[in-house]
């Protein structure tokens, strides 16, 4: 017996043989298609997020392929001239990058903001006469909240924190991709090595905020809905950088960051987690097996769910410049940072649907 359903296909086979009754092969393969009359605004939101997901996952390989492909066509001069430009411009990412305000302020980023939606929440004023290190938690799968809040103007960073300019850190690997490096620099992204991260804090005056997804690529492997594991217990490099440059520390927690994608279960100790961590140690990037919804249907795909992300910027921790901090001084400030992050989480979790018995777990 076979049954067909309007929104998908459910196959049900029943019968008996020498081996007994054959169970149904597929009890319910149901695809939830998007309705035809979706408003134009929502379609524009989906299209904007689609290009953002592609930029994050596929644009760099595409640019690398294009660079080498052009060398074997009559347009080879484009790649040659770009290579000359690349050689001249090689140090720019490590010297604050090259933000293009026009790109950061494009209307399309407002569509991305409204897709989830994403909101930036301020809890205290930040004096633009100082520099800051923002610790962003959790990383999530694709750091959607960090990008929307600190690489675009869509959520009002400039209005909430007048006089501050944000610089978000990204793996240095991506700044070696031709064409792609220029695109990400336009959004205020800079390499995450120590020299590049310190440059806005030491060489560009005041009013600069360096944004660090502290958990980095390894934390993406813990980005499961309902998970509040924060990879911070042994991460002290950003604390030391703040001390060496006299930059105030600001804890940031993004509620909902882990909710926009599902991920294949990969507990520590399983073969999958071992393989993911091994590949991460070799390549520098993590490979979470994530999924969510599609473009024209809601059942599967790599598009994030429409779930709200609320990024709460905490109160600053005053840091005095200390070029050579002792281990005790570093540990003390690190502990204060963890305490303040935990307090920030506890104060705001009730506003965003987190159970009162849920607490941050530092790993």
Query: How do residues 177-208 score in pLDDT, each as one tens digit?
Result: 999 999 999 999 999 999 999 999 999 999 99
Q: What is the CA radius of gyration of the chain?
A: 23
In the chain, what are the domain boundaries? Answer: 40-351
By three-state DSSP, how is residue 211 classified?
A: strand
For the record, the structure tokens of 167 come out as 């610089």
Which pLDDT score is estimated for 26?
39
Please report the pLDDT score of residue 280 as a whole number. 86
Please name which of 228, 252, 243, 247 lies closest in space to residue 334, comparing C-alpha atoms. Answer: 243
Per-residue pLDDT tens for 305-317?
999 999 999 999 9
Which residues, other chains included, contact 313 with Cβ-Cβ below 8 Å and sequence gap of 6+? 120, 121, 122, 123, 124, 126, 134, 160, 161, 250, 252
**Stretches in the chain below the pLDDT threshold 50:** 1-27
pLDDT, residue 217, reads: 87
Q: Which architecture, in CATH terms, is 40-351?
A: 3-Layer(aba) Sandwich (3.40)
Give the pLDDT score at 17.
41
pLDDT recorded at residue 29: 57
Q: Cα separations (Å) of 114 from 59, 246, 254, 261, 291? A: 23, 36, 16, 17, 21
| Closest among 130, 132, 101 to 211, alpha carbons compared | 132
Q: If we measure between CA atoms, which residue out of 195, 190, 230 comes closest to residue 210?
A: 190
Per 3-state DSSP, the chain is made up of helix, strand and coil in percentages (nearest 5) of 40, 20, 40
Instruction: Say which residues have a Cβ less than 8 Å from residue 85's Cβ, sequence separation at least 6.
Output: none
């Amino acid at each position: 017996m076979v049954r067909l359903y309007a929104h998908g296909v459910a196959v049900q086979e029943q019968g008996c043989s020498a081996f007994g009754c054959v169970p149904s092969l597929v009890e319910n393969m149901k695809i939830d298609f998007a309705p035809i009359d979706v408003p134009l605004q929502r379609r524009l939101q989906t299209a904007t997020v689609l290009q953002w997901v592609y930029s994050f996952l596929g644009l760099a390989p595409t640019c690398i392929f294009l660079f080498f492909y052009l060398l074997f066509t009559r347009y080879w001069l484009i790649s040659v001239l770009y290579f000359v430009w690349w050689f001249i411009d090689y140090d720019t990412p490590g010297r604050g990058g090259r933000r293009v305000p026009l790109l950061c302020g494009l209307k399309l980023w407002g569509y991305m903001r409204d897709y989830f939606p994403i909101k930036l929440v301020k809890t205290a004023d930040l004096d633009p006469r100082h520099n800051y290190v923002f610790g962003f938690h959790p990383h999530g799968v694709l750091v959607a909240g960090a990008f929307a809040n600190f690489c675009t103007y869509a959520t009002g960073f400039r209005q909430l924190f007048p006089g501050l300019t944000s610089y978000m850190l990204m793996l240095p690997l991506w700044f070696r991709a031709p064409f792609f490096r220029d695109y990400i620099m336009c959004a205020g992204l800079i390499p995450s090595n120590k020299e590049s991260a310190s440059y806005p804090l030491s060489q560009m005056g005041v009013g600069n905020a360096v944004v660090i997804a502290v958990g980095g690529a390894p934390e993406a492997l813990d980005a499961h809905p309902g998970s509040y594991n924060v990879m911070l217990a042994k991460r002290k490099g950003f604390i030391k950088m703040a001390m060496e440059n006299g930059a105030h520390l600001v804890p940031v927690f993004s509620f909902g960051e882990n909710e926009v994608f599902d991920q294949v279960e990969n507990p520590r100790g399983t073969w999958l987690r071992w393989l993911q961590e091994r590949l991460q140690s070799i390549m520098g990037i993590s490979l979470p097996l994530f999924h969510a919804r599609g473009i024209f249907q809601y059942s599967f795909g790599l598009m994030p769910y429409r779930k709200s992300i609320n990024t709460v910027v905490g109160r600053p921790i005053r840091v005095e410049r200390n070029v050579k901090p002792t281990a005790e001084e570093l540990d003390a400030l690190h502990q204060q940072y963890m305490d303040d992050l935990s307090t920030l989480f506890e104060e705001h979790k009730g506003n965003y649907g987190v159970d009162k018995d849920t607490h941050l777990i530092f790993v």
